[in-house]
């Protein structure tokens, strides 16, 4: 049985979602919350597997509530459910660990499937907003590349590898992803460390974090 918490400040919509989910024998609604604070608290008491999280709620919005829930309970899946087709909200929620995003005009069958798929570990991104997410992510990525390139005088390839180091890729994963030999990957990484003035992977990641937050 998949335990679901519904967080939505509009009681009528929350009741409608509850009715839809109740039609599935595999899903149990274990609680509702009317703002982000209530959602965070309800996760502590109801122990849901999946949270259906509205974005725009009073007191604490769904993006911040998602961040807090995923920080405390990384195993809980959060599906953002909203009427707002907003790429910035989408990207922030995904970056904070949301398992995906659904618009409230989703069909009953699609909503049930999305809950099951999120519980199984899938990422839920409706086709009509996936392009916006990709475009927003690309803008963020391009900005990071420009910042690192200017700050540390990195080449195009070094920036690519530096960002992979920053994201936690191992040397072997970097070599495999970029189709480099292990030796070539190590040479690039050594050059990056030298340009960053770093003696270790952790120190390099920290210097990049500081540069990206300037």
Instruction: Look at residue 89 in the predicted model and tell me its pLDDT.
Output: 75
When pLDDT is cut at 50, 70 and 90, the band that residue 101 belongs to is confident
Position 27 pLDDT exceeds 60: yes
User: According to the 3-state scheme, what is the secondary structure of 90-141?
Assistant: HHHHHHCCCCEEEECCCCHHHHHHHHHHHHCCCCECCHHHHHHHHHHHHHHH
Per-residue pLDDT tens over the stretch 158-213: 988 998 888 888 888 888 878 889 999 999 999 999 999 999 999 999 999 898 88
d(CA 140, CA 155): 19
Q: By mean pLDDT, which of 34-38, 103-107, 123-127 is the weakest?
A: 123-127
Q: Mean pLDDT, to the nearest integer, of 143-158?
A: 87
Position 126 pLDDT exceeds 90: no
Pairing of strands 2-7, 27-33: parallel
Position 139 pLDDT exceeds 70: no
- Domains, the chain: 2-125 (3.40.50.2300), 140-213 (1.10.10.10)
């Amino acid at each position: 049985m998949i335990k679901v918490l519904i967080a939505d400040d509009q009681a009528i919509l929350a009741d409608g979602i509850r009715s839809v989910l109740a039609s599935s024998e595999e899903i149990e609604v274990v609680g509702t919350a009317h703002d982000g604070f209530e959602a965070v608290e309800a996760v502590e008491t109801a122990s849901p597997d999946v949270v259906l999280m509205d974005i725009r709620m009073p007191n604490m919005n769904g993006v911040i509530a998602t961040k807090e829930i995923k920080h405390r309970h990384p195993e809980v899946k959060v599906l953002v459910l909203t009427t707002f087709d907003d790429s910035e909200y989408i990207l922030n929620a995904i970056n904070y660990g949301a398992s995906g995003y659904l618009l409230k005009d989703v069909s009953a069958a699609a909503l049930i499937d999305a809950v099951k798929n999120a519980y199984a570990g899938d990422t839920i991104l409706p086709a009509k907003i996936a392009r916006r997410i990709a475009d927003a992510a690309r803008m963020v990525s391009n900005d990071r590349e420009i910042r690192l390139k200017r700050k540390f005088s990195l080449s195009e390839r070094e920036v690519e590898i530096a960002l992979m180091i920053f994201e936690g890729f191992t040397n072997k994963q970097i070599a495999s992803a970029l189709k480099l030999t292990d030796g070539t990957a190590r040479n690039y990484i050594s050059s990056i460390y030298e340009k960053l003035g770093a003696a270790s992977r952790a120190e390099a990641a920290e210097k990049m974090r500081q540069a990206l937050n300037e």
